[in-house]
Amino acid sequence: MDLAVIGINHKTAPVEMREKLSFPANETIEANRLLKENSFLKESLILSTCNRMEIYAVCDRNKDYVSGIKSFLSRYHNMNLSEYEDRMYVRRDREAVEHLFSVASGLDSMVVGEMEISGQVKKAYQDARESLTTGKALNRLFEKALFTAKKVRTKTLIGRGAVSVGSVAVRLAEKILGKLDDKTALIIGTGAIGEKLLLYLRKNGIKSILVTNRTLEKAQGLAARFAATAVAFEGFLERLADVDIVIVSTGAPHSVIRKDDIVSLMPRRKQRPLFIIDLAVPRNVDEEINRIDNAYLYNIDDLEKIVIGNIEFRVGELENCVGIVKASADNFMNWLAIEKIKNEN
Amino acid sequence: MPAFSAIHHITICLSYIAFFAASLAAALYLIQDNAIKNKMAGMLFSRLPGLSFLDRLNYRSIGIGFPILTISILSGFIWAKSIYGVYWQGYNYRHLYSLVLWLIYALILHVRLTARLRGRKVAILSITAFFMMVLTLFGTCR
């Protein structure tokens, strides 16, 4: 009984190739069946996400199952083997086990420690069970993988700290202002990063969004996309009295918000905290504003530094995670060895 | 009048507990505020509660502690009357300090309610008030 994984991921293949080899969610169950019918695999499971496409397989010893899987892929996706073969990796036995445990724990992800992958692994496992293509070995392997992922998440700090500018900004906003569901954000300018940030704020339940821009039409365009309200650029400072988060993302070469503006604003705001995010380069907001009580100013560099710090922190935690993965792999290999002996007798 | 003695002692303890909670929230507020202002979004930042929560906790604890302190002082007066025959002994430091403390907490509540101050400065005030309270307690207990 051999155990193997064969696949491609974001490290070995560009997105165009991963797209071609991926299995859409609604086809996975059928694809699992087809694969098993057309190969000598005893057990098989397809894991297909946007960053990876992997096939986990259990097969009798000495059978050339790898070329069987490859020819299935070629036929299914209508591709020549030579197009993708050199991008593919094959890992066997213990290496395959460790690989899956790392994948499920988010250690092999583009953003190390992201946890979405655990859910995707779980879904792939459920789909394969539904297609009746897994057996004793893969069932146990995937249950252990999900268990290991949970252990990594709870016993280490790998998932701690936001690792994108948007999520860092949201986390800061929540620490400063509390829950966002009764808060208002104003975005000045229609830059691309600002738009991304709005998306994060929407996802995190911000109550309302105001958009302003020197050209009102542009503001209206952005406002339409986010179910926001466009307001005139002239006199946006007046609006700040009722706003909790200000995102500045204009192309202006000078300050758009000055210290005096905020100093005179705070009493009108009844000293309620104000979070200003300056995404513009060159900076559009006077740095001195951060010194005013209850006003908090972060620029794009500040946010990026936090992102880098959090990523480094995650990488520092990797060693602990790998320890957990290896210990789990040991356990699984012991179980597998016993199973093999049982089968031979 | 032992009843007033009991009220006085129980309420003074309760108000101290409330003010202790307020100053603890205030101290955490200052740490968190400092972390955010200085862009240190590390472990401390993520473990500590958010600013708005700590600010509210500080304010509410004082809001609870203050009326209890008021009851305590009033019952103290009545108790004093039963022992010394007068409500107020001008030369008694404990009485004087208690009154000053009461005024400070009244001031904190006032600035916070009228929204003149919020956040960091209120936190500093409430920590100062708590320290004064502790000093009063130790300085006047004989």
Partner-chain residue, chosen from B37, B117, B121, that has the shortest CB–CB distance to A290? B37
Residue B19: is its pLDDT beyond 80? yes
Find chain A residues with C-beta within 8 A of B31's C-beta.
none
CA distance linking residue B45 with residue B29, whole number of Å:
11
Residue A322: is its pLDDT beyond 90? yes
* Nearest Cα residue to A98 out of A86, A83, A108: A108
For residue B115, what pLDDT is reported? 77
Asked if B37 lies within 8 A of A309 by C-beta distance, the reply is no
CB A184 within 8 Å of CB A243: yes
CB pairs under 8 A between A and B: 56
* Nearest Cα residue to A313 out of A157, A170, A201, A197: A157
pLDDT digits (tens, 9 = 90+) for A211-228: 998 888 888 888 888 888
Find chain B residues with C-beta within 8 A of A171's C-beta.
41, 46
Q: What percent of chain B has pLDDT over 70?
A: 92
pLDDT digits (tens, 9 = 90+) for B107-136: 999 988 887 888 899 999 999 989 888 887
Count of C-beta atoms within a 10 Å radius of residue A334: 10
For residue A226, what pLDDT is reported? 85
In DSSP terms, A276 is beta-bridged to A246, A297
Partner-chain residue, chosen from B39, B46, B115, that has the shortest CB–CB distance to A271? B115
Q: Taking residues A183-212, what's their average pLDDT?
A: 88
Q: Taking residues B49-75, what's their average pLDDT?
A: 92
pLDDT digits (tens, 9 = 90+) for A261-314: 999 999 988 899 999 999 888 888 889 999 999 999 999 889 888 888 888 888
Residue B88: is its pLDDT beyond 80? no
For residue B7, what pLDDT is reported? 87
Find chain A residues with C-beta within 8 A of B32's C-beta.
175
**Which one of A20-29, A76-85, B53-62, B92-101 scores highest in mean pLDDT?**
B53-62
- Which entry of A25, A37, A40, A50 is annotated as an active-site residue? A50
Count of C-beta atoms within a 10 Å radius of residue A127: 23
For residue A331, what pLDDT is reported? 95
Asked if A296 lies within 8 A of B42 by C-beta distance, the reply is no
Asked if A306 lies within 8 A of B39 by C-beta distance, the reply is yes
pTM (predicted TM-score): 0.75
Q: What percent of chain A has pLDDT over 90?
A: 47
Q: Tell me, yes or no, if A50 is annotated catalytic.
A: yes
Q: Does B121 touch chain A (CB under 8 A)?
A: yes
What percentage of chain B's residues is helix, strand, coil (to nearest 5)?
80, 0, 20
Token code pair at residue B45: 């930042």
Which whole-number Å values give the CA distances from A316 to A107, A114, A321, A326, A328, in the listed order? Answer: 12, 15, 10, 17, 20
Least confident of A34-38, A196-200, A251-255: A251-255
CA distance linking residue A63 with residue A60, whole number of Å:
6
Partner-chain residue, chosen from B39, B45, B118, that has the shortest CB–CB distance to A175? B45
Give the A-side interface with B, CB within 8 Å: 160-161, 168, 171-172, 174-178, 267, 270-273, 290, 293-294, 296, 298, 302, 305-306, 309-310
**Chain B contact probe: residue of A175, A176, A269 with most B CBs at under 10 A:** A175
Q: Does B63 touch chain A (CB under 8 A)?
A: no
Q: Taking residues A141-163, what's their average pLDDT?
A: 89
Q: Where are the beta strands (DSSP E) in A279-345?
A: 295-299
Pairing of strands A52-59, A2-9: antiparallel
Which residue has better confidence, A243 or B96? Answer: A243
CA distance linking residue A133 with residue A41, whole number of Å:
9
pLDDT digits (tens, 9 = 90+) for A169-192: 999 999 999 999 999 999 998 888
Find chain A residues with C-beta within 8 A of B39's C-beta.
298, 302, 305-306
What lies within 8 Å, CB to CB, of B5 at 6+ separation is: B79
For residue B142, what pLDDT is reported? 52
Residue A161: is its pLDDT beyond 70? yes
pLDDT digits (tens, 9 = 90+) for A82-129: 888 889 999 999 999 999 999 999 999 888 888 889 999 999 999 999
Mean pLDDT of chain B: 86
Q: Does B30 touch chain A (CB under 8 A)?
A: no
Residue A44 burial (C-beta neighbours within 10 Å; 0-12, 13-18, 19+) = buried
pLDDT digits (tens, 9 = 90+) for A46-77: 999 888 999 999 988 777 888 889 989 999 98
Find chain A residues with C-beta within 8 A of B41's C-beta.
161, 168, 171-172, 306, 309-310
Residue B59: is its pLDDT beyond 60? yes
